Amino acid sequence: MSATVYPNLAIRYGISKRLEINTELSFLSATGKTSFKQTATGFEPVMPGINYLLLDETANAPAIILTAQAALPFLASKNFTASYLAPTLQANFQKTIKKWGLGISAGAFWDGFNPKASFIYNATVAYNCTDKWVVSSELFGFINSGTPQHNMDINLAYQKSKYFQLRCTGGIGLSSAAHKSYFAINGSRAFSLKRKQGA
């Protein structure tokens, strides 16, 4: 299956230094490779969520961030509606060591079609080659009552500024249930709505 994700909208608002609320809205086209070509286009469920910084990073300990997000099935196009509320609960551990960035996360994920949760995990290593170029690799997957999905990929990102980034990703599946291989190109453009001092 191939998917084209059109510019999606992500809104983040900092309530305090530790608490952030956010929401995401994605519009995409998904094409399935069956006996005939079939394409579905529309909006995925709106996904409101929160991030909470439980512990700040120190010289000897990582930052710990708790995240919660939920896909709302009643706020989606007909082609992408789900049967159940689809929350994601996750704990993230992040540590910076000179030019290296390390991250580990784990949690529970509901896909909106099965009332049972899946265990999700992610381990990432990133290296800042220069101020603008970052190379990273990640191991991630889903574990549930069926065959687990394990994946690994490599990313190359160009950060023109803190508001603009281009990224290409190539990966492989490490288990029979995962995609055999995949490739993606994407970019992001952020806008700050914070008012300047004196404005």
Q: pLDDT, tens digit, for every residue of 102-124?
A: 999 999 999 888 888 999 999 99
Is residue 199 very low, low, confident or very high in pLDDT (cuts 50, 70, 90)? very low
Reading the block at residue 149, the tokens are 């999905």
Beta strands, E only, 15-163: 19-25, 27-33, 37-43, 47-55, 63-71, 86-97, 100-109, 118-128, 133-143, 149-161
Closest CA to 160 of 192, 124, 189, 185: 189
Q: What stretch of H or E contains 170?
A: strand 164-173
Is residue 79 very low, low, confident or very high in pLDDT (cuts 50, 70, 90)? confident
Reading the block at residue 8, the tokens are 């999606």
Residue 149 lies in a domain: yes
Dump pLDDT digits (tens) for 21-78. 999 988 887 776 554 456 778 888 899 999 999 999 999 999 999 999 999 988 888 8
Q: What stretch of H or E contains 168?
A: strand 164-173
Residue 6 lies in a domain: no
Q: Give the position of tokens 């994700």.
A: 5
Residue-level pLDDT at 43: 86
Domain that holds residue 136: 55-189
Residue-level pLDDT at 80: 82
Residue-level pLDDT at 36: 46
Rounded to an integer, what is the distance from CA 153 to the centroid of its chain?
Answer: 14
Pure H helices in the chain: none
Structural domain tally of the chain? 1
Residue 31 lies in a domain: no
Q: How far apart are CA 126 and CA 97, in angstroms?
A: 10
Residue 2 lies in a domain: no
CB crowding 12-32: b at 16 or more within 10 Å, else e:
eeeeeeeebebebebbbebee
Residue 133 lies in a domain: yes
Is residue 5 very low, low, confident or very high in pLDDT (cuts 50, 70, 90)? low
Residue 50 lies in a domain: no
Residue 20 lies in a domain: no
Cα atoms in the 13 Å half-sphere on the side-chain side of 51? 17
CB atoms within 10 A of CB 110: 19
Residue 106 lies in a domain: yes
